[in-house]
Amino acid sequence: MLSRVKIKVCGMKDTVNIREVAALHPDYMGFIFYDKSPRYVGSEFVLSEDISSSIKRVGVFVNHTKAFIKETLVRHQLNYVQLHGDESVEFCEELKSEGIRVIKVFRVDGDFEFNITKQFERVADFFLFDTKGKLYGGNAMPFDWSLLRRYNQAVPFFLSGGIQLENIAELAGLSSLNIHAIDVNSGVEDQPGKKNINKLSAIINQLSI
């Protein structure tokens, strides 16, 4: 089961580390354009042109304007925008209508109502379920993955929140669900924005089983 799950490495910002991670050929790489995040890429960020086109580029945004998102998408040649804030259905629809591929994030805890996702089904290419915490993301802890069985599985999803080598095998229990990819970040870091290549390699190897 694990071999069909793709991998997204998020929170990248260091040029050298980006190249190191790219050499492992993840399916997606995420870059955070939210300036309150410790993994914010910074205003002078330039994404190297030698990153393989097979790695899909995802820009992470939190309650940004449509103009900022569109400008950033063009500048960095992003393949997807990940909306991690409180964006409305109408906002997602406006982006989608312009040919922009959308990943809509939902922050999950025991009280989360999965029915909320239904209104976004027609305006998102993927959903992403992350742990609800004090921050919009990067809370470094998983939620109870069994809650995902309450989701109707209509839209394929990314799973995020505290994923690391120690709990990767638990993904086997989600084999009947519409999981598209895992999103790793803090669980493979030496420091915010700096991924440990050995830890990341081990996860990728585990996914290939």
- Annotated active-site residue 109? The verdict is no
Among 27, 50, 125, 130, the one annotated catalytic: 130
Under DSSP, the state recorded for 85 is S
10 is catalytic: yes
Active-site choice (10, 50, 109, 111): 10
Residues pairing with 83 in the sheet: 61, 104
Contacts of 35 (CB under 8 A, 6+ apart): none
Enter the tokens of residue 140. 């470094």
CA distances from 36 to 46, 57, 62, 63, 118 (A): 19, 21, 10, 12, 29
- Which residues, in sequence order, are CB contacts of 8 under 8 Å at separation 6+? 26, 27, 28, 29, 30, 58, 158, 181, 182, 183, 184
Q: In the structure encoding, which two tokens stand for residue 184, read together?
A: 């790793």
For residue 168, with 0-12 CB atoms within 10 Å meaning exposed, 13-18 middle and 19 or more buried, which class applies? buried
Element (H, E) at 94: helix 89-97
Q: Active-site residues: which are they?
A: 10, 130
